[in-house]
Chain A
Amino acid sequence: MKSCDLQIQTPEGATFSLRLASPALRGIAVFIDVCMMQLLVRVLQSFFVAFQWISPDFATALYIFLNFLLSVLYAILLEWFWHGQTLGKRLFRLRVMDACGRQLTFPQVVVRNLLRVLDSLPSFYLLGGGIAFFSPRGQRLGDMLADTVVVVVQRQRAPNIQPLLAGRWNSLRDHPVLEARLRQGISPEEATLLLRALTRRDELAPPARLTLYRELAADIQSRVTFPPTLLEELTDEQFLRNVLDSLFAFRRVTGG
């Protein structure tokens, strides 16, 4: 697999990216689906044992017929009614999408699933998995034919950055010259890095967090000289929040 993202540009000029699912993750999702189908087959089997006393022939016919329908329709129906997700995909937050970013059509769902007869050859999806691994968009044969991709479903909530900023108590605001030097000395990439470090605060173990924030604060202080009195009562984390506030909320200070 050559890239992890699929970039799509809309006619309006906006570009969004779809994070492609790795073949390994898709393999696990398929395994879950296969287990689910086996479970359903077992349930059917035990159900039809009860029918045996009425007509063993009819029970066997019904079992073969429903088993076949299940193997063909399981993925087709689930992907159609759950908008590109089967049970396995849902568990791993994967979704089948049109490669152009549009909605899946029913023919696309059918064709990508019918092609499983080839993708699963010689066994355990070796052909499909191998092709997906080397495909730039992680597509197995069925995906190539139906022009679909399997993506990781992204988070859908707007981030709340208010708690990250220093709020009313930013001591740097009293030093507009220092704030100007900060904006001059810190590149947008570094500002983004700082924002991510604070956004992911709760994901880091306390010792790692303290070390990271100390190093980031030291780096900033090495580039912009702050009066010692200003830093005296500030922890590294609070200092970084103040810097972030000065960087990302500068118009409020200047009245812009």
Chain B
Amino acid sequence: MIVDLQRFLNRNEPQWNALDALLTRIEQAPDDPLSIADITRLHALYEHASNNLVELNSALSNPELRAFLETLVMRAYSEMYSRCTRTARFSPKRWLLQTFPQTFRRHAYFFALACAITFGGILFGTGATLVDPPSREVLMPFGHDRVDPRKRVEQEEKSSLSHTSDRQAFSAYLLQNNARVSLFTFASGITYGTVSGILLFYNGAILGAICTDYLVAGQGRFLAAWLLPHGSVEIPCILFAGQAALLLGAVMFGRRSPLRLGLRIRSVLPDLVTLIGGAVVLLAYAALVESFLSQYHSPKIYLLKIAFGLIQLALLSFFLMYSGRPKPT
């Protein structure tokens, strides 16, 4: 069938123009609420354009006209079926104090799993360092394998006061580096969580190897004072990224879910973004602590640093467990 194009255009163009104008207005101010009259009008015009498109698709007509109508229907469809997703305004305070801890608790199982994998890595690193000392070359990054803990502690304690000149740049560098590691751990979740699991295990192995090295050398106090102030936040952040990656992996496996893969992933996207966003925000704080406190190695403040780290860890745990819980009525 050939459509009488001119008549078709004359009959329907005013409605198309009205729909186009309404959509343009909505697109220019996506956060403005629509009135009932606008919604009714949008719905009516969308249905009219949809009918026109069905009419055109059942006949052969001008491809340009069909492309125009398809674009119009697509824009209207997009507004009709997605409007609710843009209405809630983002509040950073609510997100950090409510959404993030709530999301963490909702998927606490995957955090526990990330902890277990990392702990497995710590045990492996500890065992490897004790049983096979040459393995330190593989397990210890940033030249730690060539450093004798006793000599390093001695050196750091002597020079601790001279390291004050480049603290801010160092903290920015740490934030950048740690955030990249977290993002990579999260992104690797697309491999059904396997690469993320390997990364968590490897991080644990490094941590275990370094800790064992210092403990065997009798430098436990230095180690705790060095790692706890920033590690009590930084390590959980890596674990949040691991939690997000393992959640993604589990969703991709999709056991016991009737939904197709795309819909399963779509259902957890906000939670993934919340977890990784929370990790990056806390990493910024951890980077500041690491450059301004952790690297200040004076034996006089070791106990203070250890106490700071432990209190911080307790506060973080309390925040994750209780923040954003509904108040009992």
Question: Which chain A residues have a beta carbon within 8 Å of chain B's beta carbons?
Answer: 8, 10, 12-18, 55, 57-58, 60-65, 67-68, 72, 83, 98-99, 101-103, 105-108, 110-111, 114-115, 117-118, 141, 144-147, 154-159, 161-162, 165, 183, 188-189, 191-192, 195-196, 199, 247-252, 256
Contact = CB atoms under 8 A, between A and B. Distances in A.
Interface in B128-186: 165-173, 175-176, 179-180, 183-184, 186
Contacts of A98: 78, 82
Nearest to A250: B4
A60 B169 contact: yes
Interface of B: 1-7, 9, 13, 16-17, 20, 27, 46-47, 49-51, 53-54, 57, 59-65, 67-68, 70-74, 77-79, 81-83, 85-86, 90, 165-173, 175-176, 179-180, 183-184, 186-188, 190, 248, 262, 265-266, 269-270, 272-273, 276-277
Contact of B6 (A103, A111, A144, A161): A161
A145 B190 contact: yes
A111 B273 contact: yes
Nearest to A97: B78
Contacts, number: 187
B50 A14 contact: yes
Contact of A118 (B54, B180, B190): B190
Given A65-B176, A114-B186, A249 B5 contact: yes
B20 A156 contact: yes
Contacts of A189: 60
Given A14-B54, A98-B78, 15 more contacts: A10-B50, A61-B172, A64-B173, A68-B176, A99-B262, A103-B83, A105-B82, A107-B273, A117-B187, A145-B265, A147-B265, A158-B65, A161-B6, A192-B63, A196-B63
Contacts of B262: 99, 147
Contacts of B180: 117
Given A10-B77, A61-B172, A191-B60, A159 B165 contact: no
A57 B170 CA distance: 9
B272 A249 contact: no
A61 B172 CA distance: 5
Given A61-B169, A65-B176, A249-B4, A188 B20 contact: no
A14 B73 contact: yes
B169 A161 contact: no
A146 B273 CA distance: 11
A83 B86 CA distance: 12
Give the interface SS of chain A, mostly helix, strand, loop or mixed: helix
Nearest to A110: B273
Contacts of A251: 4, 7
A101 B4 contact: no
Given A192-B63, A248-B5, A249-B6, A114 B187 contact: yes
A248 B6 contact: yes
Give the interface SS of chain B, mostly helix, strand, loop or mixed: helix
A238 B5 CA distance: 19
Nearest to B79: A103
A117 B184 CA distance: 6
B6 A162 contact: yes
A220 B120 CA distance: 79
30 contacts: A12-B50, A57-B165, A57-B168, A61-B169, A64-B169, A64-B172, A68-B172, A68-B175, A72-B179, A83-B27, A101-B77, A105-B269, A108-B269, A110-B273, A114-B276, A118-B190, A158-B17, A158-B68, A159-B68, A161-B5, A161-B6, A188-B2, A191-B2, A191-B60, A192-B61, A192-B63, A195-B5, A248-B4, A249-B4, A249-B6
A202 to B, nearest CB: 14
B59 A158 contact: no
A256 B8 CA distance: 12
A114 B169 CA distance: 24
A217 to B, nearest CB: 19
| For the complex of A and B, 4 pairs with smallest distance between CB atoms | A188-B60, A61-B168, A103-B82, A16-B70
Nearest to A109: B273
A183 B70 contact: no
Contacts of B27: 83
A106 B168 CA distance: 32
Contacts of B276: 110, 114
Contact of B7 (A17, A63, A252): A252
A252 B266 contact: no
A251 B173 CA distance: 74
Contacts of A183: 2
A22 B166 CA distance: 47
B54 A13 contact: yes
Contacts of A256: 4
A33 B44 CA distance: 40
A107 B168 contact: no
A39 B228 CA distance: 40
A249 B83 CA distance: 39
B231 to A, nearest CB: 21
Name the residue in B70, B172, B175 with the highest tally of chain A Cβ atoms < 10 Å from its Cβ.
Answer: B172
